């Protein structure tokens, strides 16, 4: 897997200060995508053990609330194995930090049906994700007033609650915010 960039102190891709990993490779090619260079699976740099260590080091800071995965497309089958390894490490070392993931794939139709490569890898990846923003970006549904998503068709899903309740549980815009 390659990655486009790592952002520390990101405030745009989930609540609080975050570390964000932008992976390379995406087959959605959404019109109006903010990151089209990341569609290419060879874009950026190889994701190595050193890259993973850098992310884990950045997450050590008490002021970092969590990790966000973006792209490109984290759920592309070519990206999942490397990300599962990273997510496993993050949950083991930082169980108090949350993990957000942005995907153009649909939670029920694509992820839960096993259509994205080996099910055991997708299932493990989902087991570590707290919040998923799902659905392709739709330029005709773009709304700059939406929080943590770009178009009105996208949903902000509480993954673990959704899996336990066997129905979609949406993230509340006011959850976990310190006022």
Q: What is the mean pLDDT of the chain?
A: 94
Above 90 in pLDDT, residue 179? no
| Coil/strand/helix, residue 48 | coil
Indicate the pTM of the whole model.
0.94
Retrieve residue 147's tokens: 């929080």
Integer CA distances (angstroms), 96 to 65, 85, 135, in order: 8, 18, 27
Digit-coded pLDDT (tens) for 100-122 = 999 999 999 999 999 999 999 99
Q: Smallest Cα–Cα separation from 147: which of 4, 11, 7? A: 11
pLDDT at 139 over 90: yes
User: What span, in angstroms and rounded, lies between the C-alpha atoms of 129 and 157?
Assistant: 10
* Per-residue confidence band for 172, with pLDDT thresholds at 50, 70 and 90: confident
Q: Which segments of the chain are extended strands (E)?
A: 2-10, 17-23, 45-46, 64-70, 98-103, 131-134, 155-158
CA 157 to chain centre: 11
Radius of gyration (C-alpha) of the chain in whole angstroms: 15
DSSP character for 148? S
Residue 133 has pLDDT above 90, yes or no: yes
Spatial CB neighbours of 15, under 8 Å, sequence gap ≥ 6 = 65, 148, 175, 176, 177
| pLDDT tens, residue by residue, 35-81 | 899 999 999 999 999 999 999 999 999 999 999 999 999 999 999 99
């Amino acid at each position: 897997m390659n990655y486009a960039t790592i952002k520390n102190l990101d405030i745009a891709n989930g609540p609080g200060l975050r570390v964000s990993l932008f992976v390379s490779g995406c087959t959605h090619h959404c019109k109006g995508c903010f990151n089209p260079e990341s569609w290419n699976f060879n874009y950026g740099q190889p994701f190595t053990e050193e890259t993973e260590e850098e992310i884990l080091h950045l997450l050590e800071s008490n002021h970092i609330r969590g990790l966000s995965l973006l792209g490109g497309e984290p759920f592309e089958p070519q990206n999942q194995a490397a990300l599962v390894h990273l997510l496993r490490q993050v949950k083991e070392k930082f169980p108090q930090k949350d993990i957000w993931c942005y995907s153009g794939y649909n939670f029920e139709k694509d992820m839960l049906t096993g259509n994205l490569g080996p099910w055991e890898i997708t299932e493990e990846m989902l087991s570590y994700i707290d919040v998923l923003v799902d659905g392709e970006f739709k330029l005709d549904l773009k709304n700059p007033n939406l929080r943590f998503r770009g178009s009105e068709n996208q949903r902000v899903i509480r993954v673990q609650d959704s899996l336990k309740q066997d129905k979609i549980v949406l993230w509340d815009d006011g959850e976990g915010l310190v006022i």
